[in-house]
Amino acid sequence: MRLHVNPATTGWLWVKAGVRTFWRQPLAMSGLFFMFMVVVSLLSMLPMVGTAVAIALVPAATLGLMAATREADQGRFPMPSVLVTAFRGGPARRQAMLVLGGLYAVSLLLVITVSSLFMGDIPAPVPDGTEVSAEAMSAAMNRPGVWIAMLLYLPVMMAFWHAPPLVFWHGVKPAKSLFFSLVACWGNKGALLVFTLGWVCVFIVVGVALGALGSLLGGPQAMQVVLYPIVLFMASMFHTSLWFTFRDSFRFDDVLPDAEAPTADEQT
């Protein structure tokens, strides 16, 4: 396994590859993401351990969505069973994915615990039907705990970004996968920065378009009808692009179960 450092412009190619692949199978990709969100919501309702279990499933769900992206990228329809890819690779891979999920849950809960110490007083909930002012939103975002949470979560996100496919498809031990993922993200920090900024631009453009559409259709009430499906599509589209960030960040001597697709550079 070798790290592959991409030029910063590859980040935008990843965005385009995710959008293009999503629109090959939009209903399948958005449906799979919706299924994952439903499972997480239901698990979160369980007393005591529900939230921890839901968080621990995130690496497995990330792998499932990457597998679905591979299927769509190769012209195949991703079936719902692809979402549980992490639990279909035999006892050793399944145990490794469960360990990875446990590490993610512990890491995220530690981030939440530490950042909560700096949150201060929790603001009173906004009554139903009351519009949240820009000042209130700004005050909530500028609390020290929010920035500390973001700062602490950044290395956690980098460590787990590539870890699920490294563990499942290439047999890397969970602890080593976190290290390799962190190194790969740092080595490709320019491309990932462009990737992030590219998605920010996409979301801003969609937000502006939604605002204009809401004005044409009759205001906030009309917006509520179309907002959730659009958000679901956008989140699904973003997760579709994650596979390409992994595929182009490593070079492997072994071969994935299916033939790997060409890189983003080769597609352009």
The tens-digit pLDDT sequence of the chain (268 residues) is 889 999 999 999 999 999 999 999 999 999 999 999 998 888 888 887 888 899 999 999 999 999 999 999 998 999 999 999 999 878 999 999 999 999 999 999 999 888 888 776 555 454 544 454 445 555 555 677 788 888 999 999 999 999 999 999 999 999 999 999 999 999 999 999 999 999 999 999 888 877 777 667 666 666 666 677 888 889 999 999 999 999 999 988 765 655 344 444 444 4
Q: Is 138 exposed, middle or buried (0-12, 13-18, 19+ CB in 10 A)?
A: exposed
Flag whether 136 is in a domain: no
Flag whether 134 is in a domain: no
Q: Is there a contact between 101 and 59 (Cβ–Cβ < 8 Å)?
A: yes
In the chain, how many domains are there? Answer: 1
Flag whether 130 is in a domain: no
Flag whether 133 is in a domain: no
**Stated pTM of the model:** 0.83
Flag whether 128 is in a domain: no
CA-wise closest residue to 59 among 99, 1, 113, 30: 99
Flag whether 131 is in a domain: no
Residue ranges making up the domain that contains 20: 2-123+141-267
- Tell how far CA 56 is from the center of its chain: 14
Count other Cβ atoms within 10 Å, centred on residue 202: 17
Flag whether 186 is in a domain: yes
